[in-house]
Amino acid sequence: MNIEKNQIEQHNDSLISKHQQKLNNLKSEWSHIDIEAVIKKLVDFQIAIPSWALGTGGTRFGRFATGGGEPTNLEQKIEDVGLLHALNNSSGAISLHIPWDIPQNPDQIKSLAASYGLKFDAVNSNTFQDQPGSPVSYKFGSLQHVDKAVRKQAIEHNIEVIKQGVALGSESLTVWLADGSCFPGQLNFRQAFENTLASLQEIYSALPANWKMFVEYKAYEPNFYSTTVGDWGQSLLYANKLGDKAYTLVDLGHHLPNANIEQIVSLLLMEGKLGGFHFNDSKYGDDDLTTGSIKPYQLFLIFNELVEGMDAKGMDHATGLGWMIDASHNVKDPLEDLLQSIEAIMIAYAQALLVDRKALVAAQENNDVVLCQEILQYTFRSDLRAIVAEARLRAGAALAPLNLYRDLACRKTLIGQRGQNTVATGL
Amino acid sequence: MNIEKNQIEQHNDSLISKHQQKLNNLKSEWSHIDIEAVIKKLVDFQIAIPSWALGTGGTRFGRFATGGGEPTNLEQKIEDVGLLHALNNSSGAISLHIPWDIPQNPDQIKSLAASYGLKFDAVNSNTFQDQPGSPVSYKFGSLQHVDKAVRKQAIEHNIEVIKQGVALGSESLTVWLADGSCFPGQLNFRQAFENTLASLQEIYSALPANWKMFVEYKAYEPNFYSTTVGDWGQSLLYANKLGDKAYTLVDLGHHLPNANIEQIVSLLLMEGKLGGFHFNDSKYGDDDLTTGSIKPYQLFLIFNELVEGMDAKGMDHATGLGWMIDASHNVKDPLEDLLQSIEAIMIAYAQALLVDRKALVAAQENNDVVLCQEILQYTFRSDLRAIVAEARLRAGAALAPLNLYRDLACRKTLIGQRGQNTVATGL
Amino acid sequence: MNIEKNQIEQHNDSLISKHQQKLNNLKSEWSHIDIEAVIKKLVDFQIAIPSWALGTGGTRFGRFATGGGEPTNLEQKIEDVGLLHALNNSSGAISLHIPWDIPQNPDQIKSLAASYGLKFDAVNSNTFQDQPGSPVSYKFGSLQHVDKAVRKQAIEHNIEVIKQGVALGSESLTVWLADGSCFPGQLNFRQAFENTLASLQEIYSALPANWKMFVEYKAYEPNFYSTTVGDWGQSLLYANKLGDKAYTLVDLGHHLPNANIEQIVSLLLMEGKLGGFHFNDSKYGDDDLTTGSIKPYQLFLIFNELVEGMDAKGMDHATGLGWMIDASHNVKDPLEDLLQSIEAIMIAYAQALLVDRKALVAAQENNDVVLCQEILQYTFRSDLRAIVAEARLRAGAALAPLNLYRDLACRKTLIGQRGQNTVATGL
Amino acid sequence: MNIEKNQIEQHNDSLISKHQQKLNNLKSEWSHIDIEAVIKKLVDFQIAIPSWALGTGGTRFGRFATGGGEPTNLEQKIEDVGLLHALNNSSGAISLHIPWDIPQNPDQIKSLAASYGLKFDAVNSNTFQDQPGSPVSYKFGSLQHVDKAVRKQAIEHNIEVIKQGVALGSESLTVWLADGSCFPGQLNFRQAFENTLASLQEIYSALPANWKMFVEYKAYEPNFYSTTVGDWGQSLLYANKLGDKAYTLVDLGHHLPNANIEQIVSLLLMEGKLGGFHFNDSKYGDDDLTTGSIKPYQLFLIFNELVEGMDAKGMDHATGLGWMIDASHNVKDPLEDLLQSIEAIMIAYAQALLVDRKALVAAQENNDVVLCQEILQYTFRSDLRAIVAEARLRAGAALAPLNLYRDLACRKTLIGQRGQNTVATGL
């Protein structure tokens, strides 16, 4: 389904006066800040939607019935992301997963995406599952595998994914490896690292000149004893050995309990090796919950480091890193879940932009810990939603995307178009 | 496949002289202990095999190809457990999962099981998945559900499971609930508790007089914010409110990081409310790895409390509690994995039996912490495998079950009989 | 030092117009809510300050130099809490620790406290340290100890603490036990529980009729293997066995990683057994950081359960539970740290009061998980600071307590009065 | 006190026949292994004792009374380590902490140590506490500090520590930094890293040619939000930027929950950047318990990687890395605690030496996960204590060091010599 311009205008009209009032209140409170510059950055900021997060997710205990209307092919997935982007103007990219999303006709797919204002973000390879008819199995790993034939198959798959990405205009490859072990003794850790590195080097050498490779790390799951790219330290080792085009990718849910993710972000930026971000939230492990639903303050603290670190390096916020959501929607309508995630991200980004950085530096120089906290929490406790809404308004999107999505009964329309029992590919 | 008596005898003959030597060494070292009484307890000790752990398991990221020969019906599952029991004489029970294992003809199934020397342990209900054709869904919980119709369906399912169990001679029902929530605000915790309690009461009232109900707890997964029977404290609340036939069931993988499980075991025994045990091992969460593969000392410490606490209550070790394995075999042959788990359990049990309890009590009375540790570790560091093997030998089972399983190429035989691509029901 | 009324008025005058504007904005946004009732509840809400949290804290690695002016006797501690209460009108109680704060003349101390508008909250016993001249040592526990003489000494100390509390008008005893063990085998868990219970029963029987006993639990530290009141389940067992006057006390930092504290709070309220609260924040363990400095959303979720659960029971918010801060100020001025903690608590409480509970119940009944989250986060993302400030204004306290504390150079005054190198008792 | 040669001989004579029998049993079971070579490695293996671990330790909640006879000066500390070394011949080095152990006369101290057969292992600096009279404070960090004067003081202290070490024949400096922050916003992570690096570079440039610098990491405590050398990834970054003489030091207790330490060890060895090891054990955080008292299997797995990785690099086991205990003895006699730790380490080392590495490699090549586990657990479940005892016997030490320590009433003698209420410096 498409959302018409006039539907959005009508929605915005109904909310505009209240919105203006709140915005004016905010502007008067933050008169010392160039709010227009903040709004411009918010308008420019885009978070890619992964093609596998448009359907109902599940766990190893099963997947419950979808709410219906899930996309069953790439075209419909693009349509869904287009719908989100029309609503919030912050989802202007889609990140494809190969082999779930191999386009039959790349040019046609590109045109379709462009018609929604969408670009193709990082492409993602899959060596954590066996595909029907594959000669060899990834049961004991892919790029790390003791058997050269398995490594070769996995390398070739990644190179194939790059090719698919080139055809669509992507400029980065995300390599998430499930490789690791379930039991002590199963792996020689060093050999696993060396095999993985050699495999990554072959893939790296197939990267086009303008491409980046993101090496994602994860502490555990689906392997439950060791993971071969298990933490940021290991990912950075690989990225440094690979070369300038290789970067570390941070997924919020891929850490041991209590990890200080914002510090990791800061250090990776310092090293020039932070490549991108997968947003979600979690309480226990890689729970893949809606971004900001569990630890919104942590999300703000991470953005605080991102803004500080990117500014220190002179990086463009919108294009300097790869921004993506990576979540699983087990009990929510996937599109509503994504709208909530993006709203949380935009709020955290706005909060980070409004931190009084000069005062913070001064307080840090004085070891005035109380004041440092006051400065951060002053912004966090402020209600910046009107600024985020204004950014949407300026870009022609909806003041209240989730409300409009519900008011327009989008899911019902999608069910009408696609049926009740459709199931999207994904986890 | 069946293992013939003479195959076991031949295997044992080949190992007997070395075994006798080791056993004699042990006997001379532990001459102050009634080793014969220990061996008798080991012979009597039986660990139930869950019907869903006979096939290759997986994660939400997928399930890799089976090694082949998996059981595809209840008869074959019983055959598999029979095979294990023939090898080690410690797996004399099977725990069924309904609806995966509904017997067409209970009497015939009972006879089949009896022919392998197997009993039917606890029956397990399933309200964490929707069954095809079910009128209502468990997506938002079962016994906790805000909708009475869902609770009713779940209650009736549990009562049906009891009936199936009665027909087979089971005497306990294990209720594991995935009920909980994924996001703050989703549930009213109190109402969820009260609904769950009321539902459990209805099931409880359908229990035959000689039955027990095991209320299993789990910290998280598949719900990632709250679980309605989330820890031993909650389970005990339910069990106390339900009555004398209700007990808490401990699964080793169902705790928050760093939990002291052995203390929980001790306190539940003190309260007369420990009902049973699900064995497995884990490093991160409910990893469902082979028992004893990650933390064998913890397993010993747990058995140390079990033995101490059961003896203090005058409970029979073999029948006082429900003993079961609950693991997932993602990268190992399921039957080999189970043989390893049982071996680890038997060793831990033997170690606990040999702890010098009189000396330990004296050291505790003196707060001689160094000596307390020496006493426990003296036993743990001893090599008691020959005693465990002797228990098998006495019972007509194999001295080295895993070796015999491999020597007889059991998996190959099973593949020959059942085919390569069979898939067992389960997770 | 005392803060004069006119100092506060002058401060408030300087901020009043901006404050009024913000408050009016809030009122117009929340016109459907009885804001006056909310403000009244905020005015009434008092959080006790522990007498041991008025000085610089430390770790086992040492304690760094104080910022000076720390209170060195009970009178000065009361003066400090009086200062806080004058600033924020939310710290109208002090919680004493015996033997650190034994009053020479209870009546005089009571009068002094009353002159600041302060009451005496729970009294706290100490059996985690040996006092000079004590006949027996708590090295291996107190109420759990294998030696009756040690238990007797600990029991008598607690009874003495009750007496001290009676003289001051306290009405509750908080028992936090460090009892536990550092190594496997050190303790018989059951005997430790039973000894502790018997000891608590003796103390319980010495409670005046109108008193409560709070049994605090803690997962670990200073014992690093087991703790004898280790989690809410154990605490509840004790409280239930003790009787109607015994309750569980929740300290936010006393849990295993990832524990769902808000669910624990809800269930304890359901059972009528939540007695009180120790506020602080933490990232790793019992870090005792400023409340709300790490996980402000969790703090809100806890208050959300408190408000919901107390209302369901018809409990008075201000008097139904014991509210206290329990933190350690290692790198901040203790009084500033406390002002920040109280501000965070008041904001969280205000947020909880403003949750649209009717809408939340409806959304829960519909399993509309997206909407449940929207409702909670709508309030959390709102800026309610003006309402909290208004409550202070109404009560004659400062609109911006921390600012006024700094503007008046309170610490400098205290140093002038007490000296630079004073050290308060505490951890 | 000194233990006389004939005391040891008498002790050994009383145990020798039983010992020989056990050893012979072991030798016959492991006849395919060169047990003599293993024994030689065990004889050569020495674990340094830290000078601060000879007295009773405590927590932030206090330190309980010592058992008496604690060393009060460096000479007595050396005497204590000499006592341990006489008993077990595995503690032939002492690691000093400056400023707690500044020798008045280095040559005399060297001679004294030599008389016990002791060397001086790594020297340790202290910038986590302020020393009386220090011009500036480490309250807000040392090498990371925003104030250059503080950094300078900390740098000079480290250089002074090197000088002390040179005088005694040490060849390495261990830098453990408590530097970090307690609250979000307190630090600019990047600046803290850069300051720390620049400071370390100055210290590094003062290292003698044959020295190593060990950069120790720790996840948290005494800072509870961030630590500036927080994990192995950060430590490795520093070490790589510093140069060839800089290495990472692993302390077993310095990780987030569930970390796979053995994998970290393997990767650091691969990178040629593992410098040394601090042994202890823990259940929750940096609990500093007796090595092997909580997770003996993990200890074995770590040694398994150490042996494999050092052999792969051709490193000498005894001299290739710095081996040290770092524990806190809160409830045990410190010397008994150390004897238990060393015994656990020697057993784990012996187990690792006996792993059938050829079979393991073959099983790994076949992805025979079951067999990999069998191989590791076969050795772990074996009772190798007689081999460890034999290594002691060969070196003139005691077959059962702890028993002899108790039989000789060493603590009583030390109390007689030094008094009951002596307190050793340390934590």
Report yes or no: A301 and A341 within 8 Å, Cβ to Cβ: no
Is the reported ipTM for this assembly greater than 0.85? yes
Positive or negative, the CA dihedral C306, C312, C318, C322 is negative
Task: Answer whether residue B347 is part of any domain.
Answer: yes
Is the residue at D41 inside a domain?
no
Q: Quick one: DSSP state of residue A131? A: P
In sequence order, the 6+-apart residues with CB closer than 8 A to the CB of B347 are: B292, B296, B384, B385, B388, D381
Asked if C230's CB is within 8 angstroms of B233's CB, the reply is: no
Domain count, chain C: 1
Closest CA to B390 of B381, B400, B382: B400
**DSSP SS3 for B246:** strand
pLDDT value of position A144? 98
Q: Is residue D16 part of a domain?
A: no
Tell me whether residue C371 is in a domain: no
Query: Is A405 part of any domain?
Result: no
**Average pLDDT for residues A316-337, to the nearest whole number?**
96
Largest CA distance in chain D: 66
**Inter-residue contact C419 to C412 (CB < 8 Å):** no
Asked if D367 lies within 8 A of A139 by C-beta distance, the reply is yes
A408 residue type, one letter: L
Q: Determine contact, residues C92/C85, Cβ cutoff 8 Å.
A: yes
CA B78 to each of CA B278, B327, C327: distance values in angstroms, whole numbers, following the listed order = 19, 17, 58
Other Cβ atoms within 10 Å of A208 Cβ, number: 13
A189 touches chain D (CB under 8 A): yes
Half-sphere exposure at residue C358, Cβ-oriented, CA atoms within 13 angstroms: 2
Are the C-beta atoms of residues A116 and A80 closer than 8 Å to each other? no
Note whether D372 contacts B: Cβ–Cβ < 8 A.
no
Copy the structure tokens of residue C353. 């009061």
Q: Which of D124, D146, D182 to mutate to test the interface with C (most CBs of C within 10 A)?
A: D182
- Alpha-carbon distances, residue A416 vs A1, A66, A70 (angstroms): 10, 14, 11
Which chain C residue shows the shortest CA-CA distance from A334? C370
- pLDDT over 80 at A427, yes or no: no
CB atoms < 10 A from the CB of A20, how many?
13
The answer to whether A186 contacts D373, with C-beta atoms less than 8 Å apart, is: yes
Contact between residue C64 and residue D137 where contact means Cβ atoms under 8 Å apart? yes
Give the whole-number percent of chain A exceeding pLDDT 70. Answer: 100
- The dihedrals phi and psi of D376, each to the nearest 5 degrees, come to -65, -45
Amino acid at D236: L
Report the relative pairing of strands D93-95 and B246-251 from DSSP bridges. Answer: unpaired
We report the CATH number of the domain holding residue D51 as 3.20.20.150
- CA dihedral sign of residues D177, D182, D184, D187: negative
Q: State whether the Cα torsion D405-D407-D410-D411 is positive or negative.
A: positive
| Token pair recorded at residue C104 | 């020479």
Amino acid at position C104, single letter = Q
**C320/C303 Cα distance (integer angstroms):** 14
End-to-end distance of chain B based on CA atoms, in angstroms? 24
For chain D, the chains sharing at least 3 beta-carbon pairs closer than 8 angstroms are A, B, C
**Alpha-carbon gap, residue D321 to D343, rounded angstroms:** 19
pLDDT at A174: 98
Q: How far apart are CA C308 and CA C302, in angstroms?
A: 10
Q: Which residues of A95-117 are buried (b: 16+ CB within 10 A; e: fewer)?
A: bbbbebbebeebeebbebbeebb
Judged against a pLDDT cut of 80, whether residue D425 lies above it is answered with no
B-D C-beta contacts closer than 8 Å: 65
* Nearest residue in chain A measured CA to CA from B130: A64
Closest in B183, B293, B331 to A184, CB measured: B293
What is the spatial distance between Cα A107 and Cα A112, in angstroms, rounded to a whole number? 9
DSSP codes, A199-263: HHHHHHTTS-TT-EEEEE--SSSS-SSEETT-SHHHHHHHHHHH-TTEEEEEETTSS-TT--HHH
pLDDT value for A421:
85
Chain C interface includes B351 (CB < 8 A): no
Residue C133 lies in a domain: yes
Q: Average pLDDT, whole number, for chain C?
A: 97
Q: What's the one-letter identity of residue D416?
A: G
Q: Which residues of chain B have pLDDT under 50?
A: none
Q: What is the pLDDT along chain C (427 residues), one digit of tens a residue?
A: 899 999 999 999 999 999 999 999 999 999 999 999 999 999 999 999 999 999 999 999 999 988 899 999 999 999 999 999 999 999 999 999 999 999 999 999 999 999 999 999 999 999 999 999 999 999 999 999 999 999 999 999 999 999 999 999 999 999 999 999 999 999 999 999 999 999 999 999 999 999 999 999 999 999 999 999 999 999 999 999 999 999 999 999 999 999 999 999 999 999 999 999 999 999 999 999 999 999 999 999 999 999 999 999 999 999 999 999 999 999 999 999 999 999 999 999 999 999 999 999 999 999 999 999 999 999 999 999 999 999 999 999 999 999 999 999 999 999 999 999 888 877 6
Residue type (1 letter), A375:
I
Distance CA D161, CA D98 (A): 6
Q: What's the token pair of residue D132?
A: 């009386």
Give the closest of D181, D297, D364 to A146, CB-based.
Answer: D364
Judging by DSSP bridges, how do beta strands C226-227 and C180-181 pair with one another? antiparallel
In sequence order, which residues have a C-beta less than 8 Å from that of residue A320 and are 6 or more positions away? A310, A313
How confident is the prediction for chain A on average, in pLDDT? Answer: 97
Judge whether B424 lies within some domain.
no
The pLDDT, as a whole number, for residue C306 is 98
Closest CA to B301 of B365, B359, B256, B355: B355
CB nearest to A296's CB, from C292, C297, C382: C297
* pLDDT, tens digit (0-9, with 9 covering 90-100), for A392-426: 999 999 999 999 999 999 999 999 999 998 888 77
What pLDDT score was predicted for residue C16? Answer: 98
Instruction: Please measure the distance between the N-terminal and C-terminal CA atoms of chain C and give it in whole angstroms.
Output: 24
Mean pLDDT of chain D: 97
**What does DSSP assign to residue B140?**
T
Contact D185 A257 (CB under 8 A): no
Please indicate, yes or no, if residue C117 is contained in any of the structural domains.
yes
* Closest chain D CA to residue A272: D190
CB contact under 8 A, D381 and B385: yes
Cβ-defined contact of A290 to B140 (cutoff 8 Å): no
Q: Kindly identify which residue of chain B lies nearest to residue D335, measuring between CA atoms.
A: B370
In this predicted structure, what is the pLDDT of residue C424? 82
H-helix or E-strand spanning residue D76: helix D74-88
Residues of A in contact with D262 (CB under 8 A): 184, 189
* Among the listed residues B388, C58, D241, the one whose alpha carbon sits nearest the alpha carbon of residue A236: D241
**Chain B: partners with 3+ C-beta pairs within 8 Å:** A, C, D
Which positions 203-262 of A are in contact with D (Cβ < 8 Å)?
A: 219-220, 225-226, 230-234, 236-237, 255-260, 262
Size of chain D, expressed as the number of residues it contains:
427
- Owner of token pair 């942590």: A298
Question: For residues D192 and D225, what is the distance between their CA atoms, to the nearest angstrom?
Answer: 14
Residue D426 has pLDDT above 80, yes or no: no
Cβ neighbors of C65 (< 8 A, separation 6 or more) are C56, D130, D137, D139
For C101, the domain range is: 46-354
**Nearest CB to B233 within list C236, C308, C309:** C236
Upstream peptide bond of D71 is cis (omega within 30 degrees of 0): no
In the A/B pair of chains, how many CB contacts fall below 8 A? Answer: 111
Peptide bond before residue B132 is cis, with ω within 30 degrees of 0: no
Which chains share 3+ C-beta pairs under 8 angstroms with C?
A, B, D
Question: Cα dist. B222→B152, B218, B225, B310, D62 in Å?
Answer: 22, 10, 9, 33, 42
Q: State the pLDDT at residue C367.
A: 98
B24 touches chain D (CB under 8 A): no
